[in-house]
Amino acid sequence: MLEKALIGSKKYYGLVILLLIIIGGGFYFYLRQLTYGLGITGMSRDVSWGLYIAQFTFLVGVAASAVMVVLPYYLHNYKAFGRITILGEFLAVACVAMCLTFIIVDLGQPARAFNVLLYPSPSSILFWDMVVLNGYLLLNIVIGWTVLASERKSVPPPTWVKPLIYISIPLAVSIHTVTAFIYAGLPGRGFWLTAIMAPRFLASAFASGPALLILMCFIIRRFTRFDPGKEAMQNLARIVTYAMAVSVFFVLLEIFTVFYSQIPEHMHPFEYLFAGLEGHEKLVPWMWTSAILAIASLILLINPVTRRKEGILAVACVAVFASLWIEKGLGLVITGFIPSSLGRVFEYSPTGPEVIITLGVWAMGFLILTVLYKIAVTVKEEIAA
Amino acid sequence: MYDTAKIMAGIIIFLSLITFPVWYNVVGGKAAYIPDLKIVTQEKQCVESTGYMRTNHMQLLNEWRNTVVREGNRVYVASNGKKYDMNLSRTCLKCHLNKADFCDKCHNYVEVTPTCFNCHVVPEERNS
Amino acid sequence: MKTDRRGFLKIGGIGILGFAARPLMDVLLKGDLVEASPEADALTGKRWAMAVNVNKCKEGCRDCIAACHSVHNVPDLGNPKDEVKWIWTEPYKKVFPEQEQEFSTRGNKPVVVLCNHCDNPPCVRVCPTKATFKRRDGIVMMDYHRCIGCRFCMAACPYGSRSLNWRDPRPFIKKINPDFPTRMRGVVEKCDFCGERIAKGLIPACVEACKEKALVFGNLKDSGAEVREVLRASHTIRRRPELGTGPQIYYLV
């Protein structure tokens, strides 16, 4: 089926070339980072994780969201999602590929990455994250590809895929839970030390992922002859609504606990996020943008009249995605280090090379997504024809 | 047979590319020289026999590294019973004084770049 | 029983998986603590610890810091973003934020801080390659050869004791001590309680350098040790003991 990725319209080639150019730019600066060291980024002794790890964290969520189409279709036999499960699975593949790349890009000594396998350390959450992420990536490639291949031949998928699909469901939950444990298990980082971290991650994941999936469906419907189906998209929109509402609720729970208890170590990071601390307020405008986008999207999504209007739904999905990207992809990781363990407020902002490398990895993910979706959509078009 | 000419041309291009390193060295006159190592030894013998060291020095150094760093044990008991301090800078480089004439020559010949001396200090720097 | 090619491949595959499982289990179940076996002339100790007498510490004095950083080839990057430090001072109110009160005059008094060589170190727990590990004598040690620079330990350490080499440190070392390696870029480093000096029977460089005798180093398992006497005679506090890390730097304030 791979050959289908090679034949496409001018627009398709244009998109692929554009993505390749961005990847090239990112790669160039990555080579610079390899020779200079991670000092080329804005990360510091105090804020030792930055944009890379934050993108990884956010994208794990988007990847986990495939389960939101897989589960209703395979466990509850909800037929409307049958048309788009492949889109969810391939989205997961692209996102996990980005996640793993972001981890590699973030390593000080990437050449030694295999030490994680040579000296397996079950006490380290990062070890388990590597296990579940690779497992989830592999499963989604195998499941997506096999099911699509059978669909193309108009035969039912082979029976051995079923158990793999069932395994992929808890695994999707586990990749995000384990990623949350990276943060939630650290003593002395008040901002992260919360049992609600994993549920928070899952809630925001099940909002941001399906929101992106809806946007992808709009794009596919616009540019190809494959229609993912209005019913499927409307039900995805319902999932986004519930998940977004729960996600906002969870954040409010955190804010209550922190500010009612008045424990300084837990309060300071939230103050830094929404009001600024000791005159440092780089993230404040971002976080308020995120909050306003979250509330606006909820208003548009909860009201069935606006949710059913496709133009408004698209706007709401963009708002959800942007809001959660700011919350997870900017605020959550950096603020864990502010103030530092010695009470110092040292702000972080990414450098130019860091941003370009980050864009390069995103472009790589979107290239994988473009190619996989091209294959899937072409097969679907053939079946319909 | 279809497209015999094209296939043959392709095979020839492929073979010439893949054998590039070989004939590049032949043309450049760099083929098959033997690196000339200089050893300024104070001792008569290395910690193990020359043959063993030649083939296994990297494994031995890895073992030394792990024993010292991870187990805190700094004494190496050689197969002849002699004891040595497991120390790259102090023990190895005591005899192999000139890294450039010993380590580097062979490493350059086989095109390996060990990272040992990114951190461990070599004698020249010690003298300066 | 009829064995066709399909069946044979299935059984073969499962068999190979079985063989692979054994070594994997061996690795996973293997204990990771190493027994330190010092030389005959090394100080014999099982639990190293340090007591810091903040009152003896002279304002403006940097002897311990200078000694440590020159012995261990710690670079001076000259900016707070990239800086590497093993031992340094912080104001009292930042070191013990939970002990802060407005009428105290010692809020800005500099207090020496370094790796706490915790009994239950979070950095060791989170390391995905066992590059950071705890020795039997209590020293939390780093294997710079194995560190992949993921900086999980920097996030996990509640004391801010760890530094990453954000760039090649060599050009920033004023005078290289040939007897101790430098580090390469991309690895994390921290105080090692002078494991290399203890192996030779010496006390840590910072303790040796302190003219005021404000730093006392010794073996807690030895009831006659000076450090035990200090801990017995005076009230000492530790940094954030409520986290359960069991820090082994004791402060007389």
pLDDT value for C1: 44
**CA–CA separation, C151 and C172 (whole Å):** 22
Which DSSP string do the residues of A42-82 spell out, in sequence order? S--SSS---HHHHHHHHHHHHHHTTHHHHHHHHHS--GGGG
Cβ-defined contact of B119 to C133 (cutoff 8 Å): no
pLDDT value for B128: 42
Which candidate in C129, C168, C190, C238 is best for mutational testing of the A interface (most A CBs within 10 A)?
C129
Cβ-defined contact of B72 to C133 (cutoff 8 Å): no
List of chain C residues with pLDDT < 50: 1-2, 19, 23, 30-41
Q: Distance from B119 to chain C by nearest Cα, in Å?
A: 4
Cβ-defined contact of A107 to C149 (cutoff 8 Å): yes
pLDDT value for A334: 94
Place of tokens 């809020």: C107
Residues of chain B with C-beta less than 8 angstroms from the C-beta of C145:
65, 69
pLDDT tens for residues A235-245? 999 999 999 99
Q: Considering chain A, what is the average pLDDT of its residues?
A: 92
pLDDT value for C26: 53
Residues of chain A with C-beta less than 8 angstroms from the C-beta of C97:
264-265, 343
pLDDT value for C17: 54
pLDDT value for A355: 96
Q: Which of B69, B73, B119 sits opposite C182 (nearest CB)?
A: B119
What percent of chain B shows pLDDT beyond 70?
89
Q: Which of C148, C151, C159 sits opposite A113 (nearest CB)?
A: C148
Report residue A7's pLDDT band, with 50, 70 and 90 as the boundaries: confident
Residues of chain B with C-beta less than 8 angstroms from the C-beta of C192:
none
**CA–CA separation, C35 and C37 (whole Å):** 6
pLDDT value for B32: 67
pLDDT value for C233: 93
pLDDT tens for residues A132-191? 999 999 999 999 999 999 988 888 889 999 999 999 999 999 999 999 999 999 998 999
Query: Mean of the pLDDT values across residues B64-74?
Result: 89
Alpha helices in chain A (DSSP H): 10-36, 51-64, 67-75, 85-106, 115-118, 125-152, 161-184, 197-223, 230-261, 264-274, 284-302, 304-308, 310-326, 333-335, 352-384
Touching chains, B (3+ CB pairs < 8 A): C
Which candidate in C30, C33, C35, C39 is best for mutational testing of the B interface (most B CBs within 10 A)?
C39
pLDDT value for C32: 41
Q: What are phi and psi of A214, to 5 degrees?
A: -60, -45
Which candidate in C14, C127, C166, C240 is best for mutational testing of the A interface (most A CBs within 10 A)?
C166
Touching chains, A (3+ CB pairs < 8 A): C
Q: Distance from A154 to chain C by nearest Cα, in Å?
A: 24
pLDDT value for A205: 94
H helix count then E strand count, chain B: 7, 2
Cβ-defined contact of A37 to C243 (cutoff 8 Å): no
pLDDT tens for residues A29-72? 999 999 999 999 999 999 999 999 999 999 999 998 888 888 88
pLDDT value for C133: 94
CB-based contact C174:C99 (threshold 8 Å): no
pLDDT of B106 strictly over 90: no
Which two structure tokens, joined as six digits, stand for A322?
């942007």
For C32, the closest chain A residue by CA position comes to A121
Q: Does B120 touch chain C (CB under 8 A)?
A: yes
pLDDT value for C116: 96
Report residue A356's pLDDT band, with 50, 70 and 90 as the boundaries: very high
For B83, the closest chain C residue by CA position comes to C39
Which DSSP string do the residues of A69-122 spell out, in sequence order? HHHHHHHS--GGGGGTHHHHHHHHHHHHHHHHHHHHHH-SSGGGTTHHHHS--T
Residues of chain A with C-beta less than 8 angstroms from the C-beta of C160:
45-46, 340-342
Which two structure tokens, joined as six digits, stand for B86?
């497991």
Residues of chain C with C-beta less than 8 angstroms from the C-beta of A189:
155, 158
pLDDT value for C40: 42
pLDDT tens for residues B70-101? 888 888 988 888 888 898 888 888 888 888 88
pLDDT value for C33: 38
Q: Which of C39, C145, C176 sits opposite B69 (nearest CB)?
A: C145
3 state SS of B85: strand
Query: Mean of the pLDDT values across residues A77-94?
Result: 89
Q: Does A170 touch chain C (CB under 8 A)?
A: no
Q: Which of A48, A110, A264 sits opposite C151 (nearest CB)?
A: A48
Classify strands C188-189 and B75-77 as parallel, antiparallel or unpaired.
Answer: unpaired
pLDDT tens for residues C161-175? 999 999 999 999 999
Query: Mean of the pLDDT values across residues A104-128?
Result: 93
pLDDT of A6 strictly over 90: no
pLDDT value for C96: 93
pLDDT value for A66: 83
**CA–CA separation, A128 and C237 (whole Å):** 36
pLDDT value for B37: 75
The pTM of the full predicted model, rounded to 2 decimals, is: 0.88
Residues of chain C with C-beta less than 8 angstroms from the C-beta of A108:
147-151, 164-165, 185-188
Which candidate in B97, B119, B124 is best for mutational testing of the C interface (most C CBs within 10 A)?
B119
pLDDT of B34 strictly over 80: no
Residues of chain C with C-beta less than 8 angstroms from the C-beta of A346:
80-81
pLDDT value for C30: 47
pLDDT value for C34: 38
